[in-house]
Amino acid sequence: MEWILFMIGGAVIGIISGFFGIGGGIVLTPTLLVLGYEPSQAITLSLMLTLGSTVTGTMSHIRLKNVNVKLAVLLGVFGVIGSVVTVPFVKWLDEMNGASTVISIVYIAILSWFSYQFLSRRQQDLKAKGKSAAPIIGLFTGVISSLMGVSGGFVMTPLLTKWLKLDLSKAIGTSISAASIIVLSGITSYMYTGESLDYRHGILLIIGALIGTPIGSIQLKRFSGVSVKRMLAVLYMVVAVSVIFKMLSITIVSLGLILVSVLVFFGMLGRGDRSRVPS
């Protein structure tokens, strides 16, 4: 029964990952923390799942021609640097029993900020910063990836659309491709520091992600960029609020919010984007 639950969980998160280009860890890490996992264990297990979803997502988006390969490599290289320098800091926090609090605060702050950015109409008035901003985006994403156990796509995607003015589909495809490189370096760095990997559960999650991620990538075609941004903003807000409840030790409400948001998301996938005019 346990292996079925982990595979289903991996498939669900894989669909979310392929649709939004966010890797899936943004949902899995807080869920594992709520379920009682130690921060470093939650991060490494989440990174294992994220690797599966980002690799399959990359292949799907390459077929859909949504990937700027040169930009993805540039983002990935600087992301590796950020990831490698962050892992020792997380291990130190874990030893001081402060990792869970720090990770939770970072989640709340970053998710709230990006949610506001997606919903704010003023973001369209910003001028493009040019490709010179790519190293900064990659470095920042690498730090966030190893600190929170995520691909960093939820950071990279909005920055690529806002700073580099990439089309949302291109931003998602390029983001998830660069994230594959960053996540792999994060897992390697944690292994180097002596962190044990939960291979059994990790592999089950990856198998599920292999099934779900291509489905999410295909579903993206059915929605307009505006609708995807709004859906992503709402997802960010729900996860941020769930983390707040987790910090207040109200775990049932925290986990319930995540589950309800996932169910609503799938309901919207089934209904489709009614505001989009068929071509």
DSSP 106-157: HHHHHHHHHHHHHH-GGGGGPPP--GGGHHHHHHHHHHHHHHHTS-SHHHHH
Instruction: Tell me which residues of the chain have a pLDDT lower than 50.
Output: 277-279
Q: What angle do CA 217, 81, 148 make, to 5 degrees?
A: 55
d(CA 148, CA 113): 16
pLDDT value for 275: 60
What pLDDT is recorded for position 121? Answer: 65
Instruction: Give the separation between CA 229 and CA 277, rounded to whole angstroms.
Output: 17
Global pTM value: 0.74
The pLDDT assigned to 182 comes to 93
Q: How far apart are CA 262 and CA 260, in angstroms?
A: 5
pLDDT value at residue 126 = 57
DSSP 8-state code for residue 128: P
